Amino acid sequence: MKGIKDKFSHLPEAISGLRELAYNLWWSWHPEGRGLFRLLNRQGWYLSNHNPVKMINRMDRGALEEASSDSHFMRHYDSVMARFESYMTPSRGWFCDNVQQPEKNKIAYFSAEYGLHHALPFYAGGLGFLAGDFLKECSDLGIPLVGVGFMYPKGYLRQMISPEGWQVGACEMMDRENAPIRKLEDSNGDPLTIKVPIMDPTIYLEVWMVQVGKTSLYLIDTSCEANEEENRLISDRLYTGDLEQRLRQEIVLGIGGVRILHQLGVDYSVLHCNEGHPAFAVLERIREKVEGGMSYRDAFECVKNTTVFTTHTPVPAGHDVFSYQLMDKYFGSYLPTLDLSRDELFRLGMNPAKPEGFNMTAFALRCTAYRNAVSKKHGEVSRKMWQQLWPELAMDKIPIEYITNGVHVPSWIDRRLGDVIFNRYLGRTWLEEHDQPAIWELIDEIPDSALWEHHRYMKEMLIAKIRERARIKWRNAGSDPNNVMASGVLLDSAALTLGFARRFASYKRPTLLLQDLERLAKIVSDPWRPVQIIFAGKAHQDDQQSKQLLQQVFNAAKDQAFGGRIAFIEDYDELLAQYLVHGVDVWVNNPLPPMEASGTSGMKATLNGVPQLSVLDGWWIEGYNGKNGWAVQGAEGSDRDARDASAIYDLLEKDIVPLFYDVDEDGVSHGWVSVMKETIKMSGPNFSARRMAKEYTERFYQKALEAAIKAEYRKEKGKLKVDMFGGI
């Protein structure tokens, strides 16, 4: 494999397949892959934080030689490598069986962030993990997709909380030598470099690659020495608050991303822009066709008919808008290559409701034929938000559809729940068929005690993990005792445990449960039926309001009045998220409607039998059925926060707490397990990435691919006419 041939030079030939396996994230959602690395070096697996590249880099030749001569290890090695090679072998699959000419029909998927594994920290939150789950599911289904994004070498926030409760985290430099990522090289063995001359001076891009099963993800890096100092910083940070730097990022992502695929020889037919950040890719696709002899108008229609755009943002302020002065600065020399005037470009990006700048979402909506929101409610909100782009159409005819988000089931299901319980009661093929609703009806066959005991074990694992993190924090020089106490050391595995873990933002209302501190103290401090709350999440570095909300939560966790029943866990990441969605008893979500476009953390929890307590917004409007959790309608008016908090307290006091503690003589709450079962039955088939990926294919990709085939046919027919006339 180009770019990793010199990795693990100390690896014995007999187990040389570990090189390819470690650099392919297939292992991250296949338990047998993780099990093989754990068998190779159990302590090293733990100390590397479940990162096989880092683990093997730290192992000496002798230990690897010993493993290669161990018959027990080699049996497992041969078995896992056979499964991996079988998975990676091109074969007919769902996409091949349902789409014509699959070998010619690649889809290029552009996103500003990807959440794949904590060893690859170039994500900020839900959008990134949605993109990461999508890549994994496309690999599983055989959808021929390639991803494009940024590497962000310094963009990951490592969160630390001061004794005053203030987030003072710093950006962490990504350890590329110990991560499952590799820099692409040219035929001379030098780093592959692509020029983006739209900026002056020219920007040079280096390319890193992550292999996600069968799916290749190409990541842009501007930190190469060929760039001037200012330009090296373009790919440093995710979602910078500097608007000019953000524009430069989006030019590099969209225009530079298309040029990278061209340089690599990746022949794709369809472009999918995940949010507006990469929408300039549309312009570069048009430029390529104009350069090939097509008129701008024909090129625009061709590109539009083969492009998909997904919007995730229901708040007008969340859409990127750049001044026309900035656009002039960066696009003046580029527009002539498109045969496009300045005014025409600006009209494409103008939002009639706020025409003072170039709106990336308005631009993407005008330049794509297939547009979608990410939940049913978000579809309604988006059509209302953007109706001014189609003033002649009735609201229900605005051409923005919806495909509700989903999560990658193999990545987020607890391994023990899947391998032990589901395999036994749903059948060993349940995972391959998990988008079929009938399979999930067999959840009712699982004994209540089996599900209850499994969840108790997962909660004990969660609390043990939290205490381990607190112990590590306590060992750090200068650690504050109050901060350590606030980080969960007093949590009780027998108590009803609520979880609130997500990006801290004002619209997500992380402090809603703290509205009435006296009433909350009574709920959590009940000696016979105690309740505890675990908070986790990061605020954006530039968002002072969200940092203040985080401080309020952290101070509540330090407050002795709550007796250690409230905890704030620092440095929320993908690994901690796994423990939380498996181990809490109730997942809490209380956004300000209708600002939650979808939300996927609750899907991950419900998949594992954790009911959701949520305001009716985003996906929960579609997911809630009255038996699988609890819903708050969402009040209106100036006192809505107080009223919503009161509604949540009422549900806790009257319904949730009594049900959880209503146990039989064996200690099992059958009423609670009934809710857990309904939760799994709802989530499994309806909110999976498999269902989502199939919907994108059947509703958008297939139509766009047909448009691409027709365009290619017309192009070839035109060439034939030219050849005929040329011969006369």
- 105 pLDDT tier (thresholds 50, 70, 90): confident
In terms of Cα–Cα distance, which of 251, 99, 275, 254 is closest to 708?
Answer: 99
Interacting residues of 240 by C-beta distance below 8 A, sequence separation 6+: 246, 249
Average pLDDT taken over every residue of the chain: 93
- Which amino acid type is present at position 549? L
Mean pLDDT of 71-82: 98
Residue 688 has pLDDT above 70, yes or no: yes
Kindly give the pairing relationship between strand 203-212 and strand 193-196: antiparallel
CA dist., res. 395 & res. 383, Å (int) = 7
Structure tokens at 344: 């025409």
Going along the chain from its start, the domains and CATH numbers come out as 13-88 (no CATH), 104-157+180-405+697-715 (3.40.50.2000), 409-687 (3.40.50.2000)
Contact 261, 108 (CB under 8 A): yes
Q: Strand runs (DSSP E) across 354-400, as ranges?
A: 354-359, 370-373
Mean pLDDT of 421-445: 96
Residue 728 has pLDDT above 50, yes or no: no
- 91 pLDDT tier (thresholds 50, 70, 90): confident
CA dist., res. 66 & res. 72, Å (int) = 11
CA dist., res. 707 & res. 303, Å (int) = 10
Residue 167 has pLDDT above 80, yes or no: yes
3-state secondary structure of 567: strand
Residue corresponding to tokens 């990545």: 411
Rg (CA), the chain: 26
Structure tokens at 328: 């002039």
Q: What is the pLDDT of residues 487-531, one digit of tens each?
A: 999 999 999 999 999 989 999 999 999 999 999 999 999 999 999
In terms of Cα–Cα distance, which of 693, 188, 169 is closest to 407?
Answer: 693
Mean pLDDT of 574-582: 95
Q: Which residue has the higher pLDDT, 443 or 473?
A: 443
- 169 pLDDT tier (thresholds 50, 70, 90): confident
Contact 217, 209 (CB under 8 A): yes
Interacting residues of 657 by C-beta distance below 8 A, sequence separation 6+: 496, 523, 526, 529, 531
**Burial zone of 333 (CB within 10 Å; 0-12 exposed, 13-18 middle, 19+ buried):** exposed
Residue 418 has pLDDT above 60, yes or no: yes
Structure tokens at 117: 């594994």
Q: Could you give the dihedral angle defined by the CA atoms of residues 374, 376, 381 and 385, in that order, rounded to the nearest 10 degrees?
A: 60
Q: What is the pLDDT of residues 370-401, one digit of tens each?
A: 999 999 999 999 999 999 999 999 999 999 99
- What is the separation of C-alpha 543 from the centre of its chain, rounded to a whole number of angstroms? 21
Q: What is the pLDDT of residue 725?
A: 36
The continuous run of DSSP H or E covering 258 comes out as helix 257-264
**Burial zone of 60 (CB within 10 Å; 0-12 exposed, 13-18 middle, 19+ buried):** exposed
Residue 366 has pLDDT above 60, yes or no: yes
Angle (deg, nearest 10), helices 281-291 and 296-304: 130
Structure tokens at 479: 């650690």
Q: What is the DSSP string of 126-143?
A: HHHHHHHHHHHHHHHHT-
Sign of CA dihedral 490, 493, 499, 504: positive
Q: Strand runs (DSSP E) across 291-435, as ranges?
A: 307-310, 321-322, 350-351, 354-359, 370-373, 401-402
Q: What is the pLDDT of residue 286?
A: 97
Q: What is the pLDDT of residue 720?
A: 46
Mean pLDDT of 287-292: 96
Q: What is the pLDDT of residue 98?
A: 82
Listing from the earlier edge strand, what are the strands of the sheet with 354-359? Answer: 321-322, 354-359, 350-351
Residue 623 has pLDDT above 80, yes or no: yes
Residue 520 backbone zone (phi > 0: left; psi -120 to 50: alpha; other: beta): alpha
Q: What is the pLDDT of residue 333?
A: 92
Residue 265 has pLDDT above 70, yes or no: yes
Q: What is the pLDDT of residue 718?
A: 61
Omega before 594 cis (within 30°)? yes
Sign of CA dihedral 388, 390, 393, 395: negative
Residue 41 has pLDDT above 90, yes or no: yes
CA dist., res. 405 & res. 372, Å (int) = 11
Kindly give the pairing relationship between strand 106-111 and strand 321-322: unpaired
Q: What is the pLDDT of residue 100?
A: 64
CA dist., res. 350 & res. 319, Å (int) = 12
Angle (deg, nearest 10), helices 448-475 and 574-583: 140
- 681 pLDDT tier (thresholds 50, 70, 90): very high
CA dist., res. 364 & res. 320, Å (int) = 11
Count of alpha carbons within 13 Å of 209, Cβ hemisphere only? 20
Q: What is the pLDDT of residue 510?
A: 96
CA dist., res. 212 & res. 139, Å (int) = 7
Residue 364 has pLDDT above 60, yes or no: yes
- 542 pLDDT tier (thresholds 50, 70, 90): confident
pLDDT-wise least confident of 2-11, 82-91, 321-330, 685-694: 2-11
Interacting residues of 676 by C-beta distance below 8 A, sequence separation 6+: 451, 455, 609, 610, 611
- 103 pLDDT tier (thresholds 50, 70, 90): low
- What is the separation of C-alpha 346 from the centre of its chain, rounded to a whole number of angstroms? 31
Q: What is the pLDDT of residue 713?
A: 67
- Which amino acid type is present at position 693? A
Q: What is the pLDDT of residue 7?
A: 84
Contact 307, 270 (CB under 8 A): yes
Residue corresponding to tokens 């090679």: 85
Interacting residues of 419 by C-beta distance below 8 A, sequence separation 6+: 31
Kindly give the pairing relationship between strand 156-158 and strand 170-172: antiparallel
Q: What is the pLDDT of residue 104?
A: 67
Mean pLDDT of 600-612: 97
**Burial zone of 300 (CB within 10 Å; 0-12 exposed, 13-18 middle, 19+ buried):** buried
Sign of CA dihedral 670, 672, 674, 677: negative
Residue corresponding to tokens 């007008």: 316
% of the chain exceeding 70 in pLDDT: 96
Q: What is the pLDDT of residue 155?
A: 61
- What is the separation of C-alpha 585 from the centre of its chain, rounded to a whole number of angstroms? 23
Q: What is the DSSP string of 487-510?
A: TTTT--TTSEEEEEES-B-GGG-T
CA dist., res. 445 & res. 455, Å (int) = 17
Sign of CA dihedral 459, 465, 471, 473: negative
Residue 239 backbone zone (phi > 0: left; psi -120 to 50: alpha; other: beta): left
Interacting residues of 1 by C-beta distance below 8 A, sequence separation 6+: 19, 20, 23, 182
Q: Strand runs (DSSP E) across 463-577, as ranges?
A: 496-501, 531-536, 566-569
Q: What is the pLDDT of residues 113-137, one digit of tens each?
A: 999 998 898 887 789 999 999 999 9
Per-residue H/E/C for 657-706 = HHHHCCCCCCCCCHHHHHHHHHHHHHHHHHCEHHHHHHHHHHHHHHHHHH
Q: What is the pLDDT of residue 629?
A: 98
Mean pLDDT of 352-372: 97
Q: What is the pLDDT of residue 526?
A: 96
Sign of CA dihedral 203, 543, 645, 525: positive
